[in-house]
Amino acid sequence: MIEILDCPMPVTVQDAGRPGYRHLGVPLSGALDPDFLAIANALVGNPATSAALEMRLLGLRLRATAPLTIALAGACTAQIEDTSGELRPAAAWDSHSLALGETLIVGKLHEGIAYLAFAGGLDLPEVLGSRSTYVRAGIGGLDGRALKAGDCLKVGAGTRPNPLRLPQPPRPPDGPLRIVPGPQREYFTDAAWSRLLGDEFVISREADRMGLRLDGPRLEHDPARGADIVSDAVTPGVIQVPGDGRPIILLADCQTVGGYPKIATVIGADLPRLGRALPGQTLRFVEVGIDQALAARRQAANDLAACIAGMVPSGAQLDLIALYNANLIDGVIDARQANQP
């Protein structure tokens, strides 16, 4: 069991979401960054899609009401406070043990998002096959809402895993976001398409789990077609453009249908980057073909699998000072100094 002590920004329970219910009007939801979710779960021995806590912008404080094994995935600063008030670091990309009564303190997130996983997962009821929180409908998670101080969450039963660490965390990707033309590309002028590919856009403060509204050059609709369509299906990654010309990139909690023309779609391999994006961040776009998008998706899956396969026992690293002090046989040689006079 864990007790939430403080949540300065919304923290929600998320897993892989609810695929298969969009025809009923139920959004996918789930982790904005499924790669980080999978890594956090792997560090504590859980299946990749187990429910964890998704933190955005800022972390939280929680207390362990029973011994726990936890892991953080995402660039963040964290500490564990024991029952006597002593602090010890709790590095991201590593697993840690919390004793009864100890407090985990997660501070600022250096990227937009981080995940906190618990060995055994979070023992919450499933709604339509998922524990993901969808706040707008009040379903999933804990009472269908973001967490608040005083909430208690039950952690699933399971053996305490051997602690693992990720020695080479994923490097933040750079470069433009890859897109394919949308189903209503013809609703926009050629100049609008050129601006989308050639100019920079900035994520506005209108950013949440539903989508990111962008500031920058306006994308003009073809006057002969207008800025409205008969509502049709939308998915995470779609870039829709309302009448004001300001594009909106839809994310995991987006609606299932929409009436704005869709100029493009961000490819699946780049969706985790949108989950990490912050207000004020600059975005650029580049067009790719369907074959390139599918190849990128396969490569992303392979990269994630290799990342997880590269995990090592926590604390497994070469400590030259310890080797010198141990005085094994006649000593050790530091390869960095072997060729120095």
Q: Which of 165, 185, 217 is the last residue of a domain?
A: 165
C-alpha to C-alpha distance for 212 and 278, rounded to whole angstroms: 9
Same domain for 195 and 106?
no
Same domain for 210 and 141?
no
- The answer, yes or no, to whether residue 316 has pLDDT greater than 60, is no
- Which of the 8 DSSP states describes residue 24? G
Does residue 307 lie in a domain region?
no
Does residue 142 lie in a domain region?
yes
Q: From its phi and psi, is residue 128 left (phi > 0), alpha (psi between -120 and 50) or beta?
A: left
- The answer, yes or no, to whether residue 318 has pLDDT greater than 50, is no
Query: In a 3-state reduction of DSSP, which class is residue 265?
Result: strand
- The answer, yes or no, to whether residue 12 has pLDDT greater than 60, is yes
What is the percentage of the chain residues whose pLDDT exceeds 70?
91
Instruction: Write out pLDDT tens, residues 247-297.
Output: 999 999 999 999 999 999 999 999 999 999 999 999 999 999 999 999 999
Same domain for 161 and 199?
no
Does residue 75 lie in a domain region?
yes
Residues contacting residue 233 through CB under 8 Å, at least 6 positions apart: 22, 256, 257
Same domain for 225 and 119?
no
Same domain for 157 and 200?
no
Q: What is the mean pLDDT of the chain?
A: 91
Does residue 339 lie in a domain region?
no
Same domain for 23 and 115?
yes
Give me the pLDDT at residue 85, please. Answer: 92
Same domain for 161 and 181?
no
Rounded mean pLDDT, 303-320: 78
129 or 333, which is more confident? 129
- The answer, yes or no, to whether residue 336 has pLDDT greater than 80, is no
The domain tally of the chain equals 2
> Which CATH number belongs to the domain containing residue 283 in this structure?
2.40.100.10
Does residue 327 lie in a domain region?
no
Q: What angle do CA 185, 268, 251 make, to 5 degrees?
A: 80
Instruction: Write out pLDDT tens, residues 166-201.
Output: 998 888 778 999 999 999 999 999 999 999 999 999
Instruction: Write out pLDDT tens, residues 22-57.
Output: 999 999 999 999 999 999 999 999 999 999 999 999
Instruction: Write out pLDDT tens, residues 208-229.
Output: 999 999 999 999 999 999 899 9
| Domain enclosing residue 109, as ranges | 2-165
Which residues make beta-bridge pairs with 21? none
Please state the pTM of the whole predicted model.
0.89
Rounded mean pLDDT, 131-157: 95
Same domain for 247 and 279?
yes
Does residue 170 lie in a domain region?
no
Does residue 321 lie in a domain region?
no
Does residue 316 lie in a domain region?
no
Same domain for 113 and 136?
yes
Same domain for 153 and 194?
no
* Nearest CA-CA partner of 90 in 123, 114, 121: 114
Same domain for 63 and 160?
yes
> Which CATH number belongs to the domain containing residue 160 in this structure?
2.60.120
